[in-house]
Amino acid sequence: MNQEENNFCPVNKIALICTCIVGFQLSRMLFRFLYDSFLAPAFKINAVNIKETGTWAVVTGATDGIGKAYAEVLAQKGLNVVLISRTKLKLDDVAKELGEKYKVEFRTLVADFTDTEHIYHEIDKQLNGMDIGVLINNVGMSYTHPEFFLDVKDKDTFFPNLINCNIYSVTNMCKIVMPGMVERRKGVVINISSSAAQIPNPLLTVYAASKAYVVKFSEDLAAEYSKFGITVQCLLPGYVATNMSKIRSSTWMAPSPLTYVKEAIKTVGIKERTTGYYPHTLLITVVKGLDYISPKLSRWLIFRTMSNIRKRALKRATQ
């Protein structure tokens, strides 16, 4: 076979076509990542003007971490904020702290979202008639440390509490707040899930599964209500330095709640489902890529990492 014939043999042609397809797909993924993470937020392409959605925002789990950061960023944008959490003292402190910084109104509401029987009637009553433009379904609880499903402490009460707090709260808060948004034909609902919902997460099984509910619920709700002018976004953060993650000092990969929320809020209207923070997107892409190539290897790696965290936590507990 001479050189010319060799160039056009079927095997070479197939190799060339495959290279082009893979190259095209990789470039498309890279462009999508750059567009969603930098270009669209920088030029506010399709971004929602949060301030124009209404006069009030409601944030659940608003006294610490990501919830408190949302309350601050929304107040900075000029919205009045209803803060909802369990602890009256913490609520008053946050309302005072942010009230001194931003010239907007704060209202506080004490509610424990593990309780499904009593709180929603009161929340509904308190929020009735308010012009709510933004709902942040942030409240959530997780395990104290990674653990085998059957070995979780007090699982008979812990699992229902977790499900009520992570799933029931999101569903019910939407049920209470969204009718007003539908009436006014505008609004933003941000549901906080977790990247645990989209990658293997052994030893946090019930938490990860509860967050998967939030993803599916948000996706279908977004499809149902976009024609009513309502933007439903689902956020799937990686690690953020908060009480829940037990990460004390922020890093590039585990940012402070405020850094995280300032980035995430730029994606409202641009991405329906996102980590909200590009280093988390990079990490998840790598884990998903590994899971695609070898599911066994990725599961083994994550299981080993979670087992090590579990062992360290159990050791600390017995010291």
Ligand X SMILES: NC(=O)c1ccc[n+]([C@@H]2O[C@H](COP(=O)([O-])OP(=O)(O)OC[C@H]3O[C@@H](n4cnc5c(N)ncnc54)[C@H](OP(=O)(O)O)[C@@H]3O)[C@@H](O)[C@H]2O)c1
CB under 6 A: which stretch of 15-23, 27-35, 64-72, 263-271 binds ligand X?
A: 64-72
Least distance from ligand X to the Cβ atom of residue 170, Å: 9
Restricting to residues 169-188, name those near ligand X by CB under 6 A. Answer: none
Report the residue number, 178 or 197, with the smaller CB distance to ligand X: 197
146 binds ligand X (CB under 6 A): no
Query: 61 phi and psi, to 5 degrees?
Result: 65, 50
Report the residue number, 188 or 264, with the smaller CB distance to ligand X: 264
Restricting to residues 77-136, name those near ligand X by CB under 6 A. Answer: 85-87, 90, 111-114
Burial string for 130-144 (b: 16+ CB within 10 Å, else e) reads bebbbbbbbbbbbbe
Compute the residue count for the chain: 319
67 binds ligand X (CB under 6 A): yes
Q: How many residues bind ligand X (CB under 6 A)?
A: 31
41 binds ligand X (CB under 6 A): no
Q: Mind spelling out the 3-state secondary structure of 130-196?
A: CCEEEEEECCCCCCCCCCCHHHCCCHHHHHHHHHHHHHHHHHHHHHHHHHHHHHHCCEEEEEECCHH
61 binds ligand X (CB under 6 A): yes
Report the residue number, 86 or 107, with the smaller CB distance to ligand X: 86
Of these, 65, 255, 269, 276, which contacts ligand X (CB under 6 A)? 65
Look up 207 and say whether it is catalytic.
Answer: yes
Report the residue number, 169 or 231, with the smaller CB distance to ligand X: 169
Cβ-contact 109, 120 below 8 angstroms: no
In the numeric block, the tokens 């498309």 are attached to 28
CA distance to 184, 232, 269, per residue, from 228 (Å): 9, 11, 14
Of these, 139, 232, 265, 287, which contacts ligand X (CB under 6 A)? 139
Q: Please state whether 203 falls in left (phi above 0), alpha (psi between -120 and 50) or beta.
A: left
Least distance from ligand X to the Cβ atom of residue 311, Å: 20
Of these, 40, 50, 66, 199, which contacts ligand X (CB under 6 A)? 66
Active-site residue identified among 102, 168, 207, 239: 207
Contact map string, positions 230 to 269, toward ligand X, x by CB under 6 A: -------x-xx-xxxx-----------x------------
276 binds ligand X (CB under 6 A): no
Report the residue number, 213 or 239, with the smaller CB distance to ligand X: 239
Of these, 54, 133, 140, 146, which contacts ligand X (CB under 6 A)? 140
Least distance from ligand X to the Cβ atom of residue 91, Å: 7
The residues that are catalytic are 207
Where along the sequence are the contacts to ligand X (CB under 6 A)?
Answer: 61-67, 85-87, 90, 111-114, 138-142, 165, 192, 194, 237, 239-240, 242-245, 257
